[in-house]
Structure 1
Amino acid sequence: MVSRSRSLESMLRIATANVNGIRAAHRRGFGDWLAARDCDVVALQEVRAQADKLPAGAFGDYHVALDTGTIPGRNGVAVLTRHVPDAVRTWAGAALVGARQPDRVPAPDRVPLARGLGPFAAQGRYLEVDLSDAPLTIACLYLPKGGLPAELQLTERMREAPDGGARYARKMGFMSAFARYLVRTRRAAAAAGREFLLMGDLNIAHTRQDLAAWRRNQRHDGFLPEERDWFGRQLSPRTLVDVVRRLHPNDDGPYSWWSWLGQSFANDSGWRLDYHLATPRLARAAVRSAVDREFRGRRLSDHSPVVVDYDLP
């Protein structure tokens, strides 16, 4: 784990975690992890619970911005902060916001959508907040998992029924639209004098370093050439930087997702799907990172939290 020794005046500890259901994660110890990890900001994906189904104290002592989406038991994103944020923005134009437990519905700023994002607006996939204690916009994303194009859908090799490439087309459409939106919101943050940090489960392993078994997964969704190419086009030294890869340029991984099946976790045969993508100045402020594979001997989810310490000027 990242060392807890840090200057509270300048250091921000920021984490992203796909909890794969906040209720299940709490049964595995998420609440204790959240209290012990001492993060300033935590971005969560796949909360998978409507507000009235959240466990008591679901988000500890944090201020909560939460977009559950409208499909019970699916998706849902949240950003937890120590202080009330200056602004909360969603695609649906509504969010639950509150201290410790979201209990009121304010009127956050509605994010102008890029063409093509409308069908996803109410699914609980994106949320962003402007921190009040640092000049920083935090964005939390749960990108659709997708599927294979029709020509790669071989029934004998698939766990799911072939869909003619529908899930693949849906993911590619989302990525195309989101790329336009990402430019817009990153520039808006810069115009407001804020750094920008996109975190979340992007459901893509970008390079061979990001997937242990890359050779046999080159025709698998999440590692398709067109997905990886899209990911690479979102990064540059002047726009967004993959923070963990900057800190670990020559390492395989560190992976953040492992199947529950077989020995993939024990053998560290995983995927790196959970990212911190930061504007260059913020990326340079990152001093250390860690993937919390387990907490007190238990996995919190099929994903593990990715934690980065930023030593801000």
Structure 2
Amino acid sequence: MSSTLRIASANVNGIRACTRRGFDRWLARREPDIVAVQEVRCPHDELPTGAWPEHRLIYHPGLLAGRNGVGVLSRWAPSAVRMGFGSRIYDHEGRYLEVDLEPPSGPPLTVGSLYVPKGASWAGQDADPEKHQRKMRFLASLGNYLTRARRQAVRQGREFLVMGDFNIAHTRLDLTNWRANQRNPGFLPDERAWFDRILTPRTLVDVVRRLHPDQQGPNSWWTWRGQAFVKDTGWRIDYHLATPGLAAAAISGGTDREPSYEQRMSDHSPVVVDYRT
């Protein structure tokens, strides 16, 4: 008899503020087994640990006070933890954390929580070419690491899943107004080309897009300003990227979009997928 593993990714945009807005209630209601969290932005000694009584948090805060910070909330203690992806330039920023987990049913998992820099446009009034190139260097280094990590997981008989805020809308289906955003960070040609390179049917699969191949969105980020959330004028920039075996086990998934603007926990909503085990 099969069971289900519920896995989520959530950019909390500050864990303390997100908890005040209901992150603890969301956890209790949705009962995920694993949650990758990004932009935790909190020192270890100020984490609202009472918000997740059923989970333990593995956390990489980085060294930039009040910025970044990634973690994994899990019902099970990890058998291994790796902070960063081996970059002397980026690992101190708290943008990647990886854990090995052994769920009681289903295959063992290697799970990564990722927060990619936003970057900047390379042309136009608000252009910052160096900031854009820094993002592209980050992505190049990350892409090489993901290949190594995925292959290592497969050699060990593990499935590999990297989740988080990639700060890239991969295709025209992944943001509401693609024509107006072609020169904006997150939808630039070289960013999207990088995504093309890391996704193949034999390496990593975009799980939510596999479940919803022709759907606009489902969006996962909306600015706080104006009516963007109410009108669902947003971007899909939060992903589950999984090895093919795990991706094929996904039976349902999408964005846990809050019922109203007033009930938002963050400028992102969690992306939740149920996997058959």
Compute the TM-score of the two structures, normalised by the length of structure 1: 0.84
1:78 aligns with 2:71: yes
Q: 1:301 aligns with which of 256, 262, 266?
A: 266
Distance in 2 between residues matched to 1:258 and 1:182, nearest whole Å: 28
Distance in 1 between residues matched to 2:249 and 2:190, nearest whole Å: 31
Tell me what 1:280 maps to: 244
Query: How is 1:131-210 mapped onto 2 (pairs within 5 angstroms)?
Result: 131-133=101-103, 134-149=107-122, 152-154=123-125, 158=126, 163=128, 165-210=129-174
- For 1:236-285, what per-residue CA distance to the aligned partner results, in whole angstroms no more than 9, with x for missing partners? 00000000000000100000000101111111111000000000111000
Distance in 1 between residues matched to 2:49 and 2:55, nearest whole Å: 13
Distance in 2 between residues matched to 1:23 and 1:258, nearest whole Å: 20
Percent of counterpart pairs with the same letter? Answer: 57
Tell me what 2:98 maps to: 128
Q: 1:42 aligns with which of 23, 35, 38?
A: 35
Unaligned runs of 5+ in 1: 1-6, 92-110
Distance in 2 between residues matched to 1:254 and 1:304, nearest whole Å: 10
Deviation at 1:135, TM superposition (A): 1.1
Q: What amino acid sits opposite 1:11 in the alignment?
A: T
Deviation at 1:10, TM superposition (A): 2.4
1:119 aligns with 2:86: no
Q: Which has the larger radius of gyration?
A: 1
Deviation at 1:89, TM superposition (A): 1.1
Aligned-partner SS, 1:119 = coil
Tell me what 1:217 maps to: 181
- For 1:157-201, what per-residue CA distance to the aligned partner results, in whole angstroms no more than 9, with x for missing partners? x4xxx54x1210110000111111110000010011001001000
Distance in 1 between residues matched to 2:195 and 2:108, nearest whole Å: 26
Judging changes above 3 Å, is the alpha-carbon distance between structure 1 residues 40 and 56 closer, same or farther for their aligned structure 2 residues? closer
Distance in 1 between residues matched to 2:51 and 2:66, nearest whole Å: 16
Deviation at 1:228, TM superposition (A): 0.4
Distance in 2 between residues matched to 1:86 and 1:123, nearest whole Å: 24
Q: What amino acid sits opposite 1:18 in the alignment?
A: N
Aligned-partner SS, 2:92 = coil
Distance in 1 between residues matched to 2:97 and 2:259, nearest whole Å: 27
Deviation at 1:56, TM superposition (A): 4.6
- For 1:25-67, what per-residue CA distance to the aligned partner results, in whole angstroms no more than 9, with x for missing partners? 0111111111111101000000000112222514332021100
Distance in 2 between residues matched to 1:72 and 1:295, nearest whole Å: 33
Mapped contact 1:29–1:295 kept (Cα < 8 A): no
Compute the TM-score of the two structures, normalised by the length of structure 2: 0.95
1:17 aligns with 2:6: no
Mapped contact 1:33–1:295 kept (Cα < 8 A): no
Aligned-partner SS, 1:57 = helix
Tell me what 1:33 maps to: 26
Deviation at 1:14, TM superposition (A): 0.2
Unaligned runs of 5+ in 2: none
Q: What amino acid sits opposite 1:131 in the alignment?
A: L
Tell me what 1:52 maps to: 45
Q: State which drifts further: 55-64 or 236-245.
A: 55-64
Distance in 2 between residues matched to 1:20 and 1:236, nearest whole Å: 30
Q: What amino acid sits opposite 2:82 in the alignment?
A: R
Q: What amino acid sits opposite 1:222 in the alignment?
A: G
Distance in 2 between residues matched to 1:287 and 1:55, nearest whole Å: 32
Q: CA RMSD in A?
A: 1.4
Q: What amino acid sits opposite 1:153 in the alignment?
A: G
Tell me what 1:94 maps to: none
Distance in 1 between residues matched to 2:81 and 2:65, nearest whole Å: 22
Query: How is 1:226-305 mapped onto 2 (pairs within 5 angstroms)?
Result: 226-294=190-258, 298-305=263-270
